[in-house]
Chains A and B, each alone.
Chain A
Amino acid sequence: NVEPRSVPVFPWHSLVPFLAPTQSD
């Protein structure tokens, strides 16, 4: 028997690296 499992859903932004540029002000 295979029990139904909830499928994880990931937010789109988790796939994209967060590259914050160094601020120079």
Chain B
Amino acid sequence: SSSSSPVALPPFFMRGSIIQLADGELKRVEDLKTEDFIQSAEISSELKIDSSTVERIDSGQSPNAVVIQFSVGELKAQVCVEVLVEYPFFVFGQGWSSCCPDRTTQLFELSCAKLCVGDVCVSLTLRGLR
């Protein structure tokens, strides 16, 4: 079976990018806090915040890619995503984190911590999915 290529890093992770929260407030990407995601999801009629715990981090199919296995939500559903090593995830209570924080900082000037097994990331699911 073929797997999809890793997702390229989108422009909004660049330091200084303007992010609009659900209540209309504008913040820079580097200034976002855990509460911003929680409060925005509370307002949203379609999306809800879920916790996704990093279970495994393996090498991806290309040199700059990693496959991250998450355990998602109360159901602990196993979900794998393949991303570039510099792709940042938002860790609850910690902030932006990637598998290669040096590269994230180099490419996007976004300060990052190292993403590790056990970290709990902010993720989204659809409301009323179950």
Contacts and interface: CB of A to CB of B under 8 A. Distances in A.
Contact of A17 (B20, B40, B81): B81
A11 B90 CA distance: 15
Interface residues of A, number: 18
Interface string B19-31: 1111000100100
B18 A19 contact: no
Interface of B: 10-13, 17-22, 26, 29, 32, 36-37, 40, 44, 47, 50, 52, 70, 72-73, 75, 77-79, 81, 89-90, 121-126, 129-130
18 contacts: A7-B18, A8-B18, A10-B20, A12-B21, A13-B40, A13-B47, A13-B124, A16-B124, A17-B89, A18-B124, A18-B125, A19-B70, A19-B79, A21-B50, A21-B75, A21-B79, A22-B77, A22-B79
